[in-house]
Amino acid sequence: LFGASNMDQEKKTIEEIGEFGFIRSIMEKCLYSPESVIQGIGDDCAVIGPYGPYEGKVLLITTDLLIEDIHFLMGKITPRELGAKAVAVNLSDIAAMGGTARHIFVSLAMPRGMAMDTMEEVYAGMKDLCRRYGVNLLGGDTSSSPRGLFINVTVMGEAAEEEVLYRKGASPGDLIYVTGTLGDAAAGLKLLKGELPAPGDLRDVLVAAHNRPEPRLEAGRLVAQSRLASAMIDISDGLLADLHHICEESKVGAQILQERVPVSRELSSLCKANDLNAFHMALSGGEDYQLLFTVPKKNAESIERQIKQQGHPPFRIGKITAEEGVRLVSPHGTDGEITQRGFDHFPPPAR
Amino acid sequence: LFGASNMDQEKKTIEEIGEFGFIRSIMEKCLYSPESVIQGIGDDCAVIGPYGPYEGKVLLITTDLLIEDIHFLMGKITPRELGAKAVAVNLSDIAAMGGTARHIFVSLAMPRGMAMDTMEEVYAGMKDLCRRYGVNLLGGDTSSSPRGLFINVTVMGEAAEEEVLYRKGASPGDLIYVTGTLGDAAAGLKLLKGELPAPGDLRDVLVAAHNRPEPRLEAGRLVAQSRLASAMIDISDGLLADLHHICEESKVGAQILQERVPVSRELSSLCKANDLNAFHMALSGGEDYQLLFTVPKKNAESIERQIKQQGHPPFRIGKITAEEGVRLVSPHGTDGEITQRGFDHFPPPAR
């Protein structure tokens, strides 16, 4: 029974093992009808196929939880922004596979005393995103919550099987790109928490990066349709953490050129004024929801040109290496392996 | 902002409006790419099609939340039973459409101090059901929870489009069937809460009905494959509440013959010993996860024979009427409209 197990001090807790350790432990023996499964646990989405009336289409499915006091703070985000963000972070996983989002399913657990118009605003925010990306809200579940608001969104999308990009496709020599500036959302969170001072206009931009992330569906489609990239992931846990996922699944390493990591003018100003290192925020800050993708060297010029034509110039930040581990090259040439990983929902306890 | 809205005492709360009122309010304007949507919000599953390599197949999707202290009590169910039940209640929705379950996605939010082997047991319970029904565990999300365990399961299934049974298909004159005895799970919950005394063997059967529900996938397939039924639903909120859903969607009423409502020997003994009305428990008790289906009179003999041959004799409990509302016929011929509805996760406050 739960009570009894929790009282047993000898047993390891989830906290000690960490989120990724826990996920690894449950990844065993999950397939009991594997025939239609192209990708199970271990990427941004599961992939099932064939799907639909067209030859070669596959289904993409992903699910994400947003929990009050863990993923968001009441009073620091409007209900409408919260609803939109709950959908955006899921659509971002579809973008990361190169797919098109189609349907969402929403489970909500809410405190009994919550105002009706607050919840209507949460749904209005969800539907804002649905409208913008042509996505249907097809179902869900609602319940009261003993404490705090819980939102779980499941999204289904589709893609041509040949175009889907996984975490596992990167090879040594491939170039690494990101679709936009990094670290803004993490800085926005610090501002929301009152940890830093900032002038109003700077604050607005960075807080919006945190509270109103935009899924990079169009960019993801462009990369996938080009058929020139080798792997892709969305940057939800931070550049280092998500690059590490690519490296682990592809059994490679990576080298990042510090001066190439794109940082916004706003983040740069904020960090200068507060004597902080913008680069560190860009490396480890989570929730940017830009895409990271890798491209074989021979395809680099062609994919850069194609994406630039659509008004989304990507940033080349480094390359994939045969040697495992992520290494950092600073402008002064110093070079060291990075151990900092980004955001873990169950970080090991501080020693 | 949330804080501000909650402080506004003039606004209606979710609690005052109730779960069904809330769901109705969010059902508007949900479709932004309706071409593949056969059924959106408002049935046991969403239905999307066409799907898969075979002509005429559709996808079924549903999602259900289980929350500590709302849907289960720690210490009253083993972790393994809890994992299995979280999957079973979702598979039951696939059964209710007449489909075959294929894949599940699991989101878990767990308290930081939870023991690793407790969570492994929860997953072992999920996989027990996956193995039994040939279902794949394809993904999910994990997070820490500020309080209590939250489990959200999304399940995907498939069916032949022509065989799918909706809530909306019932017509006046159709006969009403259920696939098994009702009220056992509700009695089991009372025993778990210590509200009633019971001898050990009786207790075991009724508690198992609550903690180890079995999705009626095989029965649901038989009913659907026969193509002789007109509507179907699973009994999760209680016979009256779920029959009410059928009536509402089909724009009909129903008449239930009290003496035909199947009650187990165990529930009957428990109620006799405690001077309770077993019939009331069977009408309003939730979480039985039997199926309720309706059949045009001309098909009744044929479907009863087909289902009996497979060892699942269904119970005929009443008929659909043109007059709206659910009416109860007692053995003494008295006859009255029933207002009691079963389990609402946001019941209006007592006056």
Predicted pLDDT of residue A54: 59
What does the pLDDT look like over B260-290, one tens digit per residue?
999 999 999 999 999 998 998 999 988 999 9
Integer CA distances (angstroms), B285 to A206, A300, B129, B204, in order: 51, 63, 24, 18
Q: Which residues contact B14 (CB under 8 A, 6 or more apart)?
A: A110, A112, A114, A115, A116, A119, A144, B22, B346
Let me know: does A175 contact B73? Beta carbons within 8 Å: no
Q: pLDDT category, B345, cuts 50, 70, 90?
A: very low
Contacts of B33 in chain A (CB under 8 A): 102, 134-136
The whole-number average pLDDT for the span A299-321 is 92
Average pLDDT score, chain B: 86
CA-to-CA distance for B157 and A216, rounded, in angstroms? 29
Q: How far is B338 from chain A (nearest CA, A)?
A: 25
What does the pLDDT look like over B297-307, one tens digit per residue?
999 999 999 98
Question: How does B41-63 read in b/e, with b if 16+ C-beta sit within 10 Å?
Answer: bbbbbbbbbbbbeeeeebbbbbb
Predicted pLDDT of residue A346: 42
Question: How does A64-101 read in b/e, with b if 16+ C-beta sit within 10 Å?
Answer: bbbbbebbbebebbbbbbbbbbbbbbbbbbbbbbbbbb
Of B20-29, B157-166, B219-228, which gets the smallest average pLDDT? B20-29
Contact B105 A143 (CB under 8 A): no
Q: pLDDT category, A51, cuts 50, 70, 90?
A: low
Counting beta carbons within 10 angstroms of the beta carbon of residue A166, is it exposed (0 to 12), middle (13 to 18) or buried (19 or more)? buried
> What is the three-class DSSP state of A19?
helix
Contact B32 A131 (CB under 8 A): yes
CB count in 10 Å sphere of residue B297 = 12
Contacts of B44 in chain A (CB under 8 A): none
What does the pLDDT look like over A232-254, one tens digit per residue?
999 999 999 999 999 999 999 99
Predicted pLDDT of residue A5: 31
Crossing angle for the helix pair A184-192 and A265-273, to the nearest 10 degrees: 50
Q: pLDDT category, B333, cuts 50, 70, 90?
A: low
DSSP string covering B186-202, please? HHHHHHHTTSS---HHH
| Facing residue for A136 by CB, picked from B30, B78, B136 | B30
Task: Write the Ramachandran bin of A16: left for phi over 0, alpha for psi from -120 to 50, otherwise beta.
Answer: alpha
Predicted pLDDT of residue B338: 56
Q: Which residues contact A123 (CB under 8 A, 6 or more apart)?
A: A83, B26
From the list A94, A264, A72, A130, the residue with the least C-alpha distance to A187 is: A264
Q: Is the pLDDT of residue A169 over 60?
A: yes
Contacts of B153 in chain A (CB under 8 A): none
Let me know: does B234 contact B291? Beta carbons within 8 Å: yes
pTM: 0.86
Q: How far is A173 from chain B (nearest CA, A)?
A: 31
Q: Which residues contact B312 (CB under 8 A, 6 or more apart)?
A: B179, B218, B219, B222
CA-to-CA distance for A313 and A268, rounded, in angstroms? 20
Q: What is the DSSP pairing of strand B253-257 with strand A150-160?
A: unpaired
The residue among B2, B68, B103, B104 with the most chain A CBs within 10 A of its CB, best to mutate, is: B2
Q: How far is B97 from chain A (nearest CA, A)?
A: 15
Contacts of A133 in chain B (CB under 8 A): 32
Predicted pLDDT of residue B302: 95
Predicted pLDDT of residue A331: 77
Contacts of B345 in chain A (CB under 8 A): 142-144
Q: Quick one: tokens of A70?
A: 């863990």
Contacts of B118 in chain A (CB under 8 A): 2, 5-6, 11
Contact B146 A70 (CB under 8 A): yes
Q: Quick one: tokens of A157?
A: 């999308």
Contacts of B133 in chain A (CB under 8 A): 32
Dihedral Cα A237, A238, A240, A244, nearest 10 deg: 30
- For B130, the closest chain A residue by CA position comes to A32
Contacts of A22 in chain B (CB under 8 A): 116, 119, 142
- For A138, the closest chain B residue by CA position comes to B40
CA-to-CA distance for B285 and B235, rounded, in angstroms? 9
CA-to-CA distance for A134 and A312, rounded, in angstroms? 21
**Higher-confidence residue: A25 or B305?**
B305
Q: Which amino acid is at A164?
A: V
Q: Which amino acid is at B98?
A: G
Q: Quick one: tokens of A134?
A: 């042509």
How many residues comprise chain B? 351
Q: How many CA atoms lie within 13 A of A328 on its CB side?
A: 20
What's the ipTM? 0.85
The residue among A32, A91, A127, A158 with the most chain B CBs within 10 A of its CB, best to mutate, is: A32
Contact B63 A107 (CB under 8 A): yes
- For B21, the closest chain A residue by CA position comes to A116
DSSP string covering B285-328, please? ------EEEEE-GGGHHHHHHHHHHTT---EEEEEEESS-EEEE
Q: Is the pLDDT of residue B208 over 80?
A: yes
Question: How does A248-268 read in b/e, with b if 16+ C-beta sit within 10 Å?
Answer: ebbebbbbbebeebbbbebbe
The whole-number average pLDDT for the span B152-180 is 94
Crossing angle for the helix pair A184-192 and A200-211, to the nearest 10 degrees: 110
DSSP string covering A196-207, please? S---HHHHHHHH
Q: Which amino acid is at B195?
A: E
3-state secondary structure B17-59: HCHHHHHHHHCCCCCCCHHHEEECCCCCCEEECCCCCCCCEEE
- For A102, the closest chain B residue by CA position comes to B33
